[in-house]
Structure 1
Amino acid sequence: MNRGDNAEIPGYSTAERDRRWRLTREFMQREGLDALLVFGEHEDAGPAPFAFDTWFTNARAGTTVVFTRDGDPLSLLPMEMFWRDYLEGIRRGDIPWITPDNIRVSRDSAAIAETLTALGLSTATIGVVGLEPYPPWHPEGLVPYRQWNTILDTFPDAEFVPVARPLSRLIMPLSSEEIAVVRRAGSIGDAMVAAMVATAAAGVSESEVYAAGMAAGYARGTTPAAMHLYSGPAPLARAVPPWSYRPQAPRVLADGDVVSAEVFANLGGRHTQHQATITVGEPHPDLLRAAEVARATYDAGLRSLRPGRTFGDVVAAMREVLDPAGGWEFGPSVHALNPAIALSGFPADAGQWIPGAEAYPPEPDHPTIGADLELVPGMTFAMEPNYVFGRHLAYLGGTVIVGDPDPIELNPYTAQILRARGDNSALSA
């Protein structure tokens, strides 16, 4: 990478700030809200973070935002280090979206109560972001019980309304500035996977492959979330590698292995995902068969991803390929990004095909979430079809933007099987 690569990173203007705040005020007016109370997840949350706060602040994740219909947003920070970052940014020429008079240096229940009281919201109707389910990490909301119970006790005459779902649909269609950021994130993700392909080979530790991918992201000016990676002759798992959470040696790759990875790139609060299936040596015939199904599913999803249709229409089009294929689906094949508010369903009995699965609790049904979401230009989706024959899992795909009318495919590179090191060209699938 040359030095000019980082110089091409797009940013957000004050016009983008004004657009977001205008949309928010219109939303509050339309929903009959006097204010919004937005909880954000801490900045080290990893993939699919609950980081609605950054949409308002263009700053570090992990804050709580209070936004009245007639004022500018206030940012309640977890510690003073956050406002020191603001000062350092100003010294470097940044234009902060949140001014010093709109910053508070605590976000516990007492600080929230003090802020709401000072703004005259003791009897207001307040929309809350953080109470509703946000799969998979927050099945019953983000806000801690004690904190929320204290707020309810303090404001018995206020009405608190969960609004994460309608607000999500408001912010999901990206602006031209945000699309430029997503495009850049997508190119970073491709570079991460390319570095992994170039590193993987028989005799190489899977941790070296992991490190090569993450380093490519860091070198391009972002801090990717920890990728999911498994390797082996036929890995059937999707998670951070086991040596990241318990003391054990990483695997050493062998001829005939597969590196199966889910790579996360992010920039400016906008995220892309990349599904990488990298073969070391000749791929197993069942893997190639599975890749054919996954690729046909990907193409069906692309054809259906059009403005005016629904997310459910896309899922149905993909299921037409998956259901009769004769193998089984490992997990969801498509989900929304920025934010992740829609997720395709898949059969409840899929896991029964894994040897030894009978010893574990049966899987519940996996219905589609957000099937009624109408597609609008600027929405982003992780198109990640996957399929298994025997024990051989093909996981393909990347990030796609709803265009007008055609979808914008950011990552055709990972929508196919990739060969490690000796032959870095993709296999036809």
Structure 2
Amino acid sequence: MSTAHGKSTAHDMSAAHDRSDPVVPTYSDAERERRWGLLRSVMHRAGLDAMLVFGEHEDSGPAPFAYDAWITNDRPGMTVLVPRDGDPISLLPMEMFSKDHLESARRGESLWIAPENLRTPRDSRVVIATLHELGLARAAIGVVGLEPYPPWHPEGIMPYGLWSTVLAEFPEADFRPVGALLSRLIMPLGAEEIAVVRRSAAIGDAMARAMVEAAAPGVPESAVYAAGMAAGYARGTTPAAMHFWSGPAPLASGLPPWSYRPQAPRVLADGDVISAEVFAHVAGRHTQHQVTITLGPPHEDLRRAADVAREAYDAGLAALRPGRTFGDVVEDLRGPYRAAGGWEFGPAIHTLNPMIAAAGFPVEASRRRAGADAYPPETDRPTMAADMVLEPGMTFALEPNYAYGRHLAYLGGTVLVTDDEPLELNPYTARLLRAGGG
């Protein structure tokens, strides 16, 4: 296999994934230089003098890919200025970030930004002062944070007050959105990033297995949720809050209602189904795992739906080859749906690290559900970034879903594109799971 993005063969990666390796992967100085070199290539390609990268704070809930942390190998929530010549400068939201940086330095951890390149806070006053310090009043500056990031941020994440003040101060500067350009350039992961993704995938599998073992009639669904999250925490990471619904035929996707409304978690019963989406997350690298667990034999319609979803999963695997477009993959994956007689619940595939492309799907069938006409109208979802050409090192959440009536099967996990056949990181969750025994 080519080493352009630091990849080994699919066989070697699969063997490494299967092996229980106690060594936790870290990022080296070479990885830092690789990333900063990509930033400079963006600036060269776009004719930029600098880049201004706004990072959403870590406590903001579901957030875009943390471009600031990708640059700094540090805590998310910074604004980063990257001159074409010279090291990045990080603007910190509060003094506590400086204290964390100092403590990490004392412990000998890998820090990419030197103390002299830190500024506090990251308000418009300090952004303006740093732009003046770098002599960028009349420069061409690429900005990350202005472009849409659906579904969470359809109009970007840059705060209006900060940005309007910066624009007023620099009327002669040429600010250009470059988030999409940067996203496509960094999607093919390097060898060190792939090692981190493999660790995330293994942790996500452990979370799913813990949920299967914990699920049983008479158990509160919160106990199953806790078992999955604890498996992630115990392995040295902080997984994002998972989506989780249960019932005889749950037909929803999102955080469990007891996490945002004052109500008791459901108590599981024989014949229930758990439909969950596990979000494993290791040091800024993300994997996703679609978990469908049955308590007892599955309903016949659920079994049929799972068969269709699995056929779509296999079609997606066959299509995930370098040189093909994302739109081609979506069309092939959705092929088994066309004559199956049921309906799609949501997107069947999307990119990870970062998420810039997602499969489209029709909503007409879902609108026929009882009571749906009382809700705001929906429109068919087009495929995002259908023209994106696949490259080795890209990661995808391959998560086909299909329903007959109210019986929804949601299957799949994370897949890595290689020079040849794609590498399944999570085949365990690409099928129905049975409580207590997998």
| TM tier relative to shorter chain | over 0.9
Structure 1 gaps, min length 5: none
Structure 2 vs 1, CA of residues 378 and 45 (structure 1 numbering), >3 Å: closer, same or farther? Answer: farther
Matches within 5 A, 1:72-221: 72-221=87-236
Q: Secondary structure at the match of 1:265?
A: strand
Structure 2 residue 369 is the aligned partner of structure 1 residue 360:
no
Q: Does the 8 Å contact 1:53/1:61 carry over to 2?
A: yes
Q: Which amino acid aligns with 1:342?
A: A
Q: Secondary structure at the match of 1:165?
A: helix
Match of 2:312 among 297, 300, 304: 297
Structure 2 residue 285 is the aligned partner of structure 1 residue 275:
no
Q: Which amino acid aligns with 1:157?
A: E
Q: Which amino acid aligns with 2:212?
A: V
Q: CA RMSD in A?
A: 1.2
Match of 1:63 among 68, 71, 78: 78
1:209 Cα shift?
0.3
Q: Secondary structure at the match of 1:147?
A: helix
- Count of aligned residue pairs for this structure pair: 420
Q: Which residue of 1 aligns with 2:400?
A: 385
d(CA) in 2 for partners of 1:341 and 1:97? Answer: 26
Q: Does the 8 Å contact 1:54/1:60 carry over to 2?
A: yes
Q: Does the 8 Å contact 2:65/2:353 carry over to 1?
A: no
Match of 2:428 among 402, 413, 419: 413
d(CA) in 1 for partners of 2:21 and 2:220? Answer: 29
1:109 Cα shift?
1.0
d(CA) in 1 for partners of 2:176 and 2:30? Answer: 29
Q: Secondary structure at the match of 1:416?
A: coil
Match of 2:53 among 18, 23, 38: 38
- Identity among equivalent pairs (%): 68
Match of 1:17 among 22, 32, 44: 32
Q: Which has the higher contact order (CA 8 A, sep 6+)?
A: 2
Q: Does the 8 Å contact 2:305/2:404 carry over to 1?
A: yes
Structure 2 residue 363 is the aligned partner of structure 1 residue 328:
no
d(CA) in 1 for partners of 2:386 and 2:261? Answer: 38
d(CA) in 2 for partners of 1:327 and 1:341? Answer: 28
Q: Secondary structure at the match of 1:87?
A: helix
Q: Does the 8 Å contact 2:294/2:435 carry over to 1?
A: yes
Q: Does the 8 Å contact 2:62/2:152 carry over to 1?
A: no
1:354 Cα shift?
2.1
Structure 2 residue 216 is the aligned partner of structure 1 residue 237:
no
Q: Does the 8 Å contact 1:351/1:363 carry over to 2?
A: no
Match of 2:391 among 373, 376, 379: 376
Q: Which residue of 1 aligns with 2:261?
A: 246
Q: Which amino acid aligns with 2:58?
A: E
Q: Which residue of 2 aligns with 1:340?
A: 355
Structure 2 vs 1, CA of residues 216 and 233 (structure 1 numbering), >3 Å: closer, same or farther? Answer: same
Residue-by-residue CA offset, 1:163-190 (whole Å, 9 max, x unaligned): 0001000110000000000000000000
d(CA) in 1 for partners of 2:289 and 2:166? Answer: 40
1:50 Cα shift?
3.7
Q: Which residue of 1 aligns with 2:9?
A: none
d(CA) in 1 for partners of 2:196 and 2:386? Answer: 27
Q: Does the 8 Å contact 2:56/2:63 carry over to 1?
A: no
Residue-by-residue CA offset, 1:236-294 (whole Å, 9 max, x unaligned): 01000000001000000000000000000011110000000000011100000000010
